[in-house]
Every structure is written in structure tokens, then in C-alpha cells.
Structure 1
Amino acid sequence: MNPAPESKPDRRPPYQHAADELRREIMAGRFKPGEQLPSYRELQERFGIANMTARSALNVLRDEGLVYTIHGRGSFVADTDATGEYSAEYTAPAWYLAGKKGHQGEQAGEGKPDDTEAAGTTLTEVLTALRSEIRTLSADLQELRGEVDELKAQNRQPSGETS
């Protein structure tokens, strides 16, 4: 892991350091879209971190939409669109966008809000939508459980009885 500058110690957690370094490498093209990232064990050795810390680092990148994971296979870099930009689901962290003025949208001069504001809004909207979807799925699950209980009760009744 790269040491923090002497003048200002970095107090971020180790998983964030690892996620930042992997993000930099992906954005620089070291890892291409569809390419597999190092395993948890390799990340442990490279960054001197624990297994759960390596998992947390990849979770950060997954939550941003920069990588995806296939259970039992590993983590892979997300695809880019025709312009070489990551998909619409990718939201870079605000600190990253702050250092990359013109990275998304500003070049086109479309009158969009600055990147850090757009990134925050996008993340908030995504989280709100996910919470709503979870509530809906939870209600559906409860309804299905009720139906299953009714069916079980019907199957337990002798064949001649009806409710």
C-alpha cells in the first residue's frame, strides 16, 4: 500500500485505501472492462489487509457500479459504453470527481450541476429507490408467506372437510 504523505496523515480506513487504489487502476485502464480483479487473498497480500477488509474494498467499488461480482468466480470490471465511459449506473465518489473537473458532462457544456453535486444526488436517488423497492419486496414476501400458510392449512385438513 502506498504510504500517506508525511504532511497530512490519512485517517481513512484501510478498506478505503485499497478501494481508492483499485479505482485509480481501473480508471487508468490497468484493468479493462470485463477483466477479473485480483482475488481477496491477492488483495490481502498486496495491501497488507485482512480478508474482510479486502471484501469491504470490493464492496465499495461494487456499490459504485464500477465492478460486479459473480459468486464463486470473482469480481470483474464493469463494462463501459461506446465513449469509453462507465455505464450510467456508475457513480464515482465525490472526492474523485472533485479532482477530475470536466470528467462527466462539464466538457459538453450542457448546463449540468457540477460533478460532486450530481454524484451526491444520484447516490441519494439510488438509495431512495432501493429502499422503496426493499419495502415493496418485503410486503410481497409477507403476502406470499400468508398464502403459503393458507395452503399448508388446507393440505392438513382431511380431504372431506372444506373451509
Structure 2
Amino acid sequence: MTPASSAKPDRRPPYQHAADELRREIKAGRYKPGDQLPPYRELQERFGVANMTARSALNVLREEGLIYTIQGRGSFVADYDGTDADYTPPAWFLGNKAQADRGAEPAGKGKADSPKSADPTLSDMLTALREEIRALSAEQQELRQEVEALKKARQRPRS
């Protein structure tokens, strides 16, 4: 990581620096939608930060909707319009985040998902598929934990 070029020191936390650099690389096309990002260990070495700092950097990008993570597989670049030089988080992310901040149910859960017509757009379908994949991944993890618990219970000697 290169130091800030301005005379005024940058007081942002290290995870923000790492997130900014990764965001720039995604926007520049080094990582394309679907590409896997380097694992935490490589990010630690590259940016000279701790494991939790690398995780925090990826959390920032995940919250922005730039990446998604599949447990046990890694972090991947989400679909976005790569031609847009000034990336802003997608509307579905901003809508869900705003509703979550208010304690409301996220968009896409009710009947009236958007003010648009009932005809879903490609973006809406991709968003729905991402949410479904995340839910299935969480369910898979729960099932794995149940299987492990059953295996442990089966291995215990009966008295």
C-alpha cells in the first residue's frame, strides 16, 4: 500500500485504505464480475494488516454490493456495470440498507417490490438470485452443523 501523497496525513483506518484500493481495482477491471478476490491471507500480506482488518475491508465492499462471499469458497466480484467510472452502490442495496436502518422489511420481500411494472428487469432477477443463493448458503451451513452434531452424538459411548 502506498502512503498518501498529500501533505495532510490520511487518518482513515487501514481497512478503509485496503477497501479503497480493492474498489479501484474492481472499477479498473482488474477483477471482473464473477472473479474471485484474493483470500484473507494474501490481503494481509499485500496491505500489511491483520486478518480482521482484511475481513473488515471486504465487509465494506460487501455492504456496498460490490462483492459477495460464499462461505468456504471465498469472495467474488458482484455483477455491476463496469463502464461506470464513478461506482455507487446499486439501488437495491441502498433500498435494503435504508429499510434495515429503519427496522422495516427489506425490499423484495413484499408484493409491491418497486414502483415499476410487474415485469421484472434483469437487475431485479439477478438481485433475487443473489439473495436466494445467500439464503441457500446459510441453510447449507446450518445443515452441515446439524450433521456434525449428529455425528458427535452418535460417536459418544452409550452408558
TM-score (ref. length: structure 2): 0.57
- Distance (whole Å) between structure 2 residues aligned to residue 73 and residue 127 of structure 1: 25
Letter in structure 2 aligned against 1:128: A
Larger Rg over CA atoms = 1
Give the corresponding residue for 1:11. 11
Give the corresponding residue for 1:80. 80
Give the corresponding residue for 1:25. 25
- Distance (whole Å) between structure 2 residues aligned to residue 80 and residue 128 of structure 1: 20
User: Post-superposition shift, 1:84?
Assistant: 4.8
Identical residues among aligned pairs (%): 71
Letter in structure 2 aligned against 1:10: D
SS at match of 1:26: helix
Structure 1: gaps (5+ residues): 93-118, 135-163
Displacement over 3 Å in runs of 4+: none
2:98 aligned to 125, 128, 132, which one?
Answer: 128
Root mean square deviation, CA, Å: 2.8
How many residues of Structure 1 are paired with residues of Structure 2 in the alignment?
103
- Distance (whole Å) between structure 1 residues aligned to residue 76 and residue 98 of structure 2: 26
User: Post-superposition shift, 1:8?
Assistant: 1.5
User: Post-superposition shift, 1:70?
Assistant: 0.2
TM-score (ref. length: structure 1): 0.56
User: Post-superposition shift, 1:6?
Assistant: 4.6
Q: Which has the higher contact order (CA 8 A, sep 6+)?
A: 2
Give the corresponding residue for 1:2. 2
Letter in structure 2 aligned against 1:66: L
Alignment of 1:82-121 (within 5 A): 84=83, 91=89
